[in-house]
Amino acid sequence: MTPSEASLFFIPLLAVVAPLLGRAVGRWVRVPVVVFELLLGILAGPAVLGWIAPNEFIDLLAEFGLALLFFVAGTEIEASALRGRAGLRAWIGWGISIAAGIALGWMLTPGLGAIIIGISLSSTALGTLLPILRDAGELPTPFGRAVSALGAVGEFGPLIAISVLLGGRSPGAATIVLMVFLLIALVAIRLALRMPQGALHEFVNSTLHTSGQFAIRVVFAIVAALVFLSLVLGIDMLLGAFTAGIVWRLMMRDATEHDRHAVESKIEGVAFGFLVPIFFIYTGVTFDLTALLASPLLLALVPVALVALLVVRGVPSLLAAPEGASARDRWAIALMGATGLPIIVAVTSIGVDEGILTSAESAVLVGAGMLSVLLFPLIAMTLRGDDTRAPLFVDGDRA
């Protein structure tokens, strides 16, 4: 049996092991399951044990996982998070971050590489932060609303930047194409708002426990339609997946709490029980640990990149802190804002595929993102006075 064939066995097995490790370690410290998925992927990949090798089929499933990850992030977006004082200050902070990140990247590697570094350093992992805030009961607090605004802007902004700056067109042409996409997306959002909610929810409810599963089929249809549209227009597919999540949320806005929870649990089951773990484990498999270890300089750059995340993304995130927030809360917000990984993985993958970055350079940024997910939320919630010994059963960028 080849490593490519063995992937069909080992990846599901590692997906089972990851939350068990999270439960065991969770007695002492909160560690998102995504960290274990990445580490297990590295361990089982070509760099260490060689049990799993990259192949086209798993790569395709991983792409689906990434799309669903951003779909779920879109469903979590509150419109209010992008407006008001927190939203405005989050946008201003992100603008500072992307400018500072590109400037820093330009000093290291002028050209498109600088843009990739800038986008990586300006991202925030909304899906990683939301379950942590929810488990700690922080979502409705001013602290939670500030972090939610940072996360929403820190995912939406980079997706727009990827589409405009890395789409293969001139920025002017790319902006026009992006506006076309956004116009079509607004039409889809308007249709979602005008849809007869009663009939829709009745049909959704009637098929929740049958083979029809209308809600799940509609979700995949919306994701497929908007991802297909984004690909046709030549913009990043993740923007289509993210927008699909917003459209679905609006379609279900008037459903009863029971029905909405039932649908969300099914979507999360498909996403975080199946496809999203494949994405993160496969990211670990393709992580170029060998090249990183072969160069002491590159390895030393990982903690440097982690500090850069904190400075470039974390410090501007302080602008979104609620009025009257304590110094501890402000630094907790900075740490949460600097937590990034999925966008980093996505944009560095584009860089490697286009020959802009080497796999070793990509590994530096991804490694820093992995450390940020492991360390920053832990330190932030400790500053908030949260009991970090409580277990955290979360996954991926819902994790």
Q: pLDDT of 220-237, one tens digit each?
A: 888 888 888 888 887 778
Give, in degrees to the nearest 5, the angle at Cα 302 between 105 and 131. 95
279-293 pLDDT tens trace: 889 988 988 888 888
How far lies 153's CA from each of 18, 28, 337, in Å?
Answer: 29, 32, 10
Residue 109, SS3 per DSSP: coil
- Of 100, 93, 103, which is closest to residue 151 (Cα–Cα)? 93
How far lies 142's CA from each of 321, 324, 349, in Å?
Answer: 8, 10, 35
Specify the pLDDT at position 160.
Answer: 87
101-120 pLDDT tens trace: 999 999 988 888 899 999 99
Specify the pLDDT at position 1.
Answer: 65
Residue 388's pLDDT band, with cuts at 50, 70 and 90, is very low
Which range among 123-127, 178-182, 207-211, 299-303 has the greatest average pLDDT?
299-303
What's the rounded mean pLDDT across residues 179-204?
Answer: 77
Give, in degrees to the nearest 5, the angle at Cα 331 between 328 and 334. 155
How far lies 193's CA from each of 196, 200, 349, in Å?
Answer: 8, 12, 35
- The packing angle between helices 214-233 and 197-206, to 10°, is 120
What's the rounded mean pLDDT across residues 38-56?
Answer: 89
Specify the pLDDT at position 269.
Answer: 86
Specify the pLDDT at position 167.
Answer: 67
Specify the pLDDT at position 116.
Answer: 93
Report the Cα 92 to chain-centroid distance in Å.
Answer: 21
What's the rounded mean pLDDT across residues 90-107?
Answer: 93
- Of 190, 153, 128, which is closest to residue 396 (Cα–Cα)? 128
Distance between CA atoms of 305 and 302, rounded to whole angstroms?
5
Residue 275 pLDDT > 60: yes
Specify the pLDDT at position 398.
Answer: 40
60-87 pLDDT tens trace: 888 888 888 888 878 877 665 566 777 8
Ramachandran bin of 83, using left for φ above 0, alpha for ψ from -120 to 50, beta for the remaining angles:
beta
| % of the chain residues with pLDDT over 90 | 23
Residue 25 has a CB neighbour count (10 Å cut-off) of 15
Residue 11's pLDDT band, with cuts at 50, 70 and 90, is very high
Residue 199 pLDDT > 70: no
Residue-wise over 200-238: b if at least 16 C-beta within 10 A, else e? bbeebbeebeeeebbbbebbbebbeebbebbeebebbbb
DSSP string, 335-398: HHHT---HHHHHHHHHHHHTTSS-HHHHHHHHHHHHHHHHHHHHHHHHHTT--TTS-----TTT
Structure token digits, residue 172: 């002017």
Q: Which domains does the chain have, with CATH numbers?
A: 60-383 (1.20.1530.20)
Amino acid at 6: A
Residue 39 pLDDT > 70: yes
Residue scoring higher pLDDT (205 or 115): 115
Note whether 337 and 154 are within 8 A (CB): yes
Amino acid at 60: L
- What average pLDDT is seen over the chain? 83
Residue 20's pLDDT band, with cuts at 50, 70 and 90, is very high
